[in-house]
Homo-oligomer: A and B are copies of this chain.
């Protein structure tokens, strides 16, 4: 349940007086999501999502919100924050930083086919290209620095095999050729549950990409690796060549990979797996106090990491 902070229709009506979005028709809590409080807000002018931020602060949020506004302004299907009559996209409601964004149509698809993967690949490339003119910078919060900081915290909980795997991979990643790769704002968490779909499996239409609250500036190729590691794999984590090639071909049609990216691809697939193995280990062994456990099984990404270490999938430029 993701309504941590309650909002009543009367409270929202008062808050909406400073917005130009008509008057409230319906207010409804959203069950999905574990980081923020979310409501569907229907007004006479349209449908919106109200988010109250439970952990992120008004210092961190502008990067995320303005990135969404920037991408939406470039036609990328993603939520667009709505400005109030003071021209602000971030306000406060019931003591929490709060924002209203446009509501996208569709629902997640958990068993995507090659058509879904192609659309996700093209949209990811569009996001990267449109992000080139985005001026705010936030270093990717789950990048190399976070990795170095987090690994020692989980290490004591691991058995010998896993400790050895983690140490070995950290050492490998520290010398991986990722420093000079093309970079910019990345979504960094474009899993299947963060894309909404309309249409049919045979002819899917992307309603949009949501949840930019892990975004940051990092190598574009990291975003591709993270996305592929979720969308284009079987239950065992092995890459499905048809879906992987559909995604990469659609991405490549928008932006060709550089030679440096081709060389870095096998190690980047491992970096993408490592990032989620590590965060899931952390959530599993070190849940925040008082937090309901939503921890995903860390083993899924350990298996993916082992597979990527064993088999270096090639990337064509």
Residues of A that sit less than 8 Å from B by CB: 19-23, 44-46, 48, 69, 71, 73-77, 80, 82-87, 100, 102, 119, 122-123, 126-127, 129-130, 132-133, 205-206, 253
Contacts and interface: CB of A to CB of B under 8 A. Distances in A.
Contacts of A206: 44-45
Contacts of A77: 45-46
Given A20-B129, A126-B22, A130-B20, A44 B75 contact: no
A45 B76 contact: yes
A45 B44 CA distance: 26
Given A21-B75, A22-B123, 11 more contacts: A20-B75, A21-B74, A23-B253, A44-B206, A46-B77, A73-B80, A73-B83, A75-B102, A85-B133, A86-B133, A87-B133
A21 B125 CA distance: 10
A69 B80 CA distance: 12
A75 B46 contact: yes
A129 B86 CA distance: 10
A127 B20 contact: yes
Closest 9 CB pairs of A and B: A20-B126, A21-B75, A20-B130, A87-B133, A75-B82, A20-B74, A74-B83, A73-B83, A45-B77
Contacts of A123: 22, 45
A76 B119 contact: no
A45 B102 CA distance: 16
Contacts of A21: 74-76, 126
Given A74-B19, A74-B20, A44 B119 contact: yes
Contact of A45 (B19, B23, B75, B86): B75
A73 B48 CA distance: 13
A121 to B, nearest CB: 11
9 contacts: A20-B75, A20-B76, A20-B126, A45-B123, A46-B75, A48-B75, A73-B83, A75-B100, A75-B102
